[in-house]
Structure 1
C-alpha cells in the first residue's frame, strides 16, 4: 500500500520542473551556503568524505562538484583477474540474471522489454536477446560516478528522452516499465566478451548525466533522440571512469548470450562497489 501511494505521488509530481530547479541550484556557487548544504547532506546520508580526493566540504565550489566527486587513488581497487567483469558503480544490485527472450525483470511482478529499453534499435536488440543483465541502483548516499566493467571500444551512444520518475525501490515496485520510460543514455561497446551496453538511466532531481568523451549529455532536455557513432577513437579500460550522475540513479549493464556467468555469491540487494567481481567469462 505504501509503495502504491509513493507511485501515485510520482505521477503527480512536476518532475521536469523539480529537476530543472534542482539542477540550476546545484551548479550555483553559493559560498558558505554550499558548504553547509554539503555538510548537512553528508551527515544525513552518512557519506564518508574521507574517501574523496577533496575531503573537506569547503573545497567544493558547487553542489554538483560534490556530487561528481572523485575518490582517492586505490579507494576502489579493480579486480584485474583475466576474464573477470567488475561492478560498474557503488550502490545496490537491484536485479540481475538472464534476459528471457527479450524480457528483463524490473521488480517482483514487473517485467519490461529489451525493445523498449533500447528504443527499438534493431542491432542492439539482436545482440542482447537471451543475454545477461545487471541493474545497479545508486542512491543519494552513494559515490555518483560509474565505471567500465571490462575493456571496451565505444561504437555508439544514444540519448533517449523520457520521463524522470524516481528509480528508488518503492517506485520500481510500483511503476511499470520505469527504466524504459525514463530518459537514458545507451552506450554500446565492443569488448573481448562480445557486445556490451551500459545504460545510464535518469531520474527525478538527477540534474545531469555526463560522460568522459562528450561531456554533459543532459540537460538540455529538448525531447529529441540523439545518436553518436564512433570509429574506434574512444577506448576505455576495465575500471576506468566513464562519467557521472549529478545525484544517484541507475546503471543497467547488458551482455550477449552465453558470454558471462554471474558470480555464485551474488544476491539481489547486495551492496556493490566499483571494481569488485561481478561475473566472469563462460
Structure 2
C-alpha cells in the first residue's frame, strides 16, 4: 500500500504547484455561463454536495465555479453548540488526526509525525505557547462547505502567512509525504479567549489558489502568487479584532485542511471524536478546562 501511495504521489514532487494553482484560480473564476455551469454540473455529478443547505440552491445563481465552491449556507443550517463557552468545530469535514503534541511533534498519519515548530514557520514564541498542548486536524473533502469559522469567542491576536508547497492533501499524501502540513502554504490565525490561545491553521493544497480572510481588516486574499518567500505577520488592525464563536473567519478558494492547536491543559476534546469522525461547523468538539493557564506565555 505504501509503495503504491508513493508511486501515485511521485508526480506531485515534480509538478509546478503554484503555476497549476494560478491556472485553476483563473478557470474557477470564469463568468462564462457555459464554462461555469459545466464545471459545477461536473462537480455535482462526482461529489455528494447538499445544495439544499446553501443560501442559493440553484447553480444558475452563481457567477462562477469559485462562487459556487465558496457558497454561503442558509441561516440556521449550522446551529452553535448549546453549551455556552464550548469550543466548536471551525469547519465541516472529518477528523483525520487528534491528540497531544508530544515532544514538539504532531501525528500526521499512522507512524508519521511532523514538527510543531516547522508547522508554525519556526516562530519560537508560538512554538513555546503550544508545546505540550493538543491538536485536531480536520480534512475538508471537495463536497464539504468550505468556509472557516471561529471556534471560540475572543480576540484575534495575530495572523501569520507561511509560504510553501501545494501538495494535495488527502489520506494518501498524509501517509507518504514527509512533513506534509509543515511544507504546504498556510495561514495561522491566533485567537485568545476563555481557553487561552487557540491557533486556527488553514493549510493550502494543490489547486487551492488562495485562502481568503473575511473576518478582519487585512488584504482580501493571501495567494501563492503573491511572491512571498518568507513567513510574515499580518497585523489585523491597530486595535485588537474581536470575533464571536461561530463567526466566519475565512474561506478556502478550493479545498484542504484546518488544524486547531490548543495550549497545555486548556481544553478537553469530546471523547467521541476519533479518526474519521465527521464534524460540522458549530458542533461542540471540546470544553474549556476549569483549571487552565491564566495568561499567554
1:218 equivalent in structure 2: 223
2:246 equivalent in structure 1: 239
Per-residue deviation, residues 112-170 of structure 1 (Å, max 9, x unmatched): 11110001112111110000111001111111111111112111111111000011110
Per-residue deviation, 1:232: 4.1
Given that residues 84 and 280 in structure 1 are in contact (C-alpha distance below 8 angstroms), is that contact kept between their aligned partners in structure 2? Answer: yes
Per-residue deviation, 1:272: 1.3
1:2 equivalent in structure 2: 4
Given that residues 42 and 48 in structure 1 are in contact (C-alpha distance below 8 angstroms), is that contact kept between their aligned partners in structure 2? Answer: no
- Cα RMSD of the aligned pairs, angstroms, is 1.3
Given that residues 155 and 231 in structure 1 are in contact (C-alpha distance below 8 angstroms), is that contact kept between their aligned partners in structure 2? Answer: no
Say whether residues 1:193 and 2:195 are aligned partners: yes
1:122 equivalent in structure 2: 124
1:260 equivalent in structure 2: 267
2:61 equivalent in structure 1: 59
Per-residue deviation, 1:231: 4.5
SS at match of 1:78: coil
Given that residues 162 and 223 in structure 1 are in contact (C-alpha distance below 8 angstroms), is that contact kept between their aligned partners in structure 2? Answer: no
Deviates more, 1:226-235 or 1:120-129: 226-235
SS at match of 1:220: helix
SS at match of 1:40: helix
Per-residue deviation, residues 26-56 of structure 1 (Å, max 9, x unmatched): 1121112211211221121011111110111
Given that residues 103 and 113 in structure 1 are in contact (C-alpha distance below 8 angstroms), is that contact kept between their aligned partners in structure 2? Answer: yes
Given that residues 104 and 117 in structure 2 are in contact (C-alpha distance below 8 angstroms), is that contact kept between their aligned partners in structure 1? Answer: yes
Per-residue deviation, residues 223-274 of structure 1 (Å, max 9, x unmatched): 3332123444311111111110011101011110001111111111111111
Taking the aligned partners of 1:181 and 1:93, their CA distance within structure 2 comes to 20
Per-residue deviation, residues 186-219 of structure 1 (Å, max 9, x unmatched): 1111111101111111100011100112221214
Deviates more, 1:81-90 or 1:63-72: 81-90
1:204 equivalent in structure 2: 206
Q: Which runs of 5+ in 2 are unaligned?
A: 290-297
TM-score, L = length of structure 2: 0.92
Taking the aligned partners of 1:226 and 1:27, their CA distance within structure 2 comes to 27
Per-residue deviation, residues 84-131 of structure 1 (Å, max 9, x unmatched): 111111111001111113110011111111110001112111110000
- The aligned length equals 282
SS at match of 1:133: strand
Given that residues 25 and 207 in structure 2 are in contact (C-alpha distance below 8 angstroms), is that contact kept between their aligned partners in structure 1? Answer: yes
Given that residues 92 and 272 in structure 1 are in contact (C-alpha distance below 8 angstroms), is that contact kept between their aligned partners in structure 2? Answer: yes
Taking the aligned partners of 2:184 and 2:198, their CA distance within structure 1 comes to 21
Q: 1:74 to 1:268 in 2, by over 3 A?
A: same
Deviates more, 1:125-134 or 1:25-34: 25-34
Taking the aligned partners of 1:203 and 1:277, their CA distance within structure 2 comes to 27
SS at match of 1:275: coil
1:107 equivalent in structure 2: 109
Taking the aligned partners of 2:209 and 2:58, their CA distance within structure 1 comes to 23
Equivalences for 1:1-282 in 2 at 5 Å? 1-212=3-214, 213=216, 214=218, 215-224=220-229, 225-229=231-235, 230-282=237-289
SS at match of 2:251: strand
